[in-house]
Amino acid sequence: MKALRFERDIPRFAAATIAGRLNAGGGAKVGPLRLRTIDDPSLPGTGWAEIRPRLAGICGSDLATIDGRSSRYFEPLVSFPFVPGHEVVADLDQSIGDVPAGRVVVEPVLGCVTRNIDPVCGPCAHGDLGNCERITFGAISPGLQSGFCCDTGGGWSTRMVAHVSQLHAVPSEWSDEAAVMVEPTACAVHGALAAGVAEGDVVVVLGSGALGLLTIAALRHFAPPCTIVAVARHPHQQDLARDLGADHVIGSEHIARPIRRLTGSLAIGDGDIVRLTGGADHVIDCVGSQESLTEALAVIRPKGRITMVGMPGHVHVDLTGLWHREIALVGAYAYGTETLPDGAVRRTFDLAFELVAAADLGRLVSATYPLDRYDEAITHAAAAGRRGAVRIAFDLRNEKERNRA
């Protein structure tokens, strides 16, 4: 089968790190990611099925890996060589369990059930799959998600395997573009609900790439009535932020001034050292950079809450304000089970399906590429904002490999 495979190759990884610093997405040409013809993945055990990807998205964590920017924190949580791609809509040829044959979306987290671990760990028992304590144990190799595990494969290929517990049937009337947005939407729903927004709060969403836009949509659809302030750099992002529910949209520079006006705060200091006496009740950081976290600390009110939804790496940030103003800084990773403001408990993926349909999120897929143009696809994804795009995906629907017996 044909697959983009990421191999353990230290010299190529070093080259990708340099290339990625010079040009976002540049690691694709020189790094450990290569288009290969490899054996079909084997089924790890009962309850597993082979699926054939149709579309597979390219997300920020994929780009960080390709450009050598991912944290070493992940080293024991993946297994090599792996095929990336965890935002996947695929074909299931034969029904398995309660999942009928047809198109499916993959819920990629590899928790205790997929690893055949019984009894399951505490977080998995509570439905918090993203917090599984057994992601390096059990019947398959280490891997926090499909797309980072050598045994499962990933969506950047013509075939992969998935456990029945990971599969969600796609409504027949949906486009593939809508379906491939379910997984990133689930991440955004989890982040939006993890922020714990109360009615009347002012919520700043930093970053209006795919994750930021989806978070705005999730806040508007599931959170109590609140004022959403989107920070968006590019004109198309600003338009989409408004359309998806932002009450105010501001540029990515000098955000303290408009937030000071919105919250009735006073400014302290001048020049490079400016702090607000008050500020936003919540900041949801959908970027995860040193700059975005610094901005979040500058505009959050005392005892406010910063939720990191964008994946951070190594950052150097002055946390004096966090201490002085008693600010809560929390992470929001993946998905599992959510408690809605009305007390209802629902699976994150069920909420994501609901939101994709309600907000027509398939329109955020801006372009697709075949696997053999992977360097173009990754370069486009890395520059999506300035090129007027949102989500870039690989299109496996016309690969010859899909038609083999």
- Please name each of the domains of the chain with its CATH number: 2-183+358-403 (3.90.180.10), 196-331 (3.40.50.720)
Q: Which of 74-78, 82-86, 382-386, 397-401 has the lowest mean pLDDT?
A: 397-401
Q: Rounded to the nearest 5°, which phi and psi values hold at 257?
A: -65, -50
**Would the pLDDT of 104 be above 90?**
yes
**Contact between 176 and 88 (Cβ < 8 Å):** no
Task: Give me the chain's average pLDDT, please.
Answer: 95
Three-state DSSP class for 351?
A: helix
Maximum CA extent, the chain: 70
For residue 405, what pLDDT is reported? 39
Whether pLDDT at 386 is above 50 = yes
Q: Is the pLDDT of residue 400 over 90?
A: no
> For residue range 142-189, what is the model confidence (pLDDT) as tens digits?
999 999 999 999 999 999 999 999 999 999 999 999 999 999 999 999
Location of structure tokens 């819920």: 107
User: Which has the higher per-residue pLDDT, 254 or 230?
Assistant: 230
pLDDT of residue 188: 98
Q: H-type helices in 276-373, by residue range?
A: 290-299, 320-324, 348-359
pLDDT at 226 over 60: yes
**pLDDT at residue 209 above 80?**
yes
pLDDT given for residue 252 in this prediction? 83
- CA 21/CA 226 separation, integer angstroms: 38
Distance CA 61, CA 76 (A): 16
What is the pTM assigned to this prediction?
0.96
Contact 304, 328 (CB under 8 A): yes
Give per-residue pLDDT as tens, 277-320: 999 999 999 999 999 999 999 999 999 999 999 998 888 999 99
Torsions phi, psi for 263 (to 5 deg): -100, 0
The residue ranking higher by pLDDT, 275 or 64, is 64
Q: What pLDDT sits at residue 138? A: 96
Whole-angstrom Cα distance, residue 86 to residue 83?
Answer: 9
DSSP assignment of 148-211 equals: S-TTT--SSBS-EEEEGGGEEEPPTT--HHHHHTHHHHHHHHHHHHHT---TT-EEEEE--SHH
CB neighbour list of residue 141: distance below 8 Å, 6 or more residues apart: 79, 149, 150, 151
What per-residue confidence (pLDDT) applies to 335? Answer: 96
CA distance 389 to 379: 12
Mean pLDDT calculated for residue range 325-335:
97
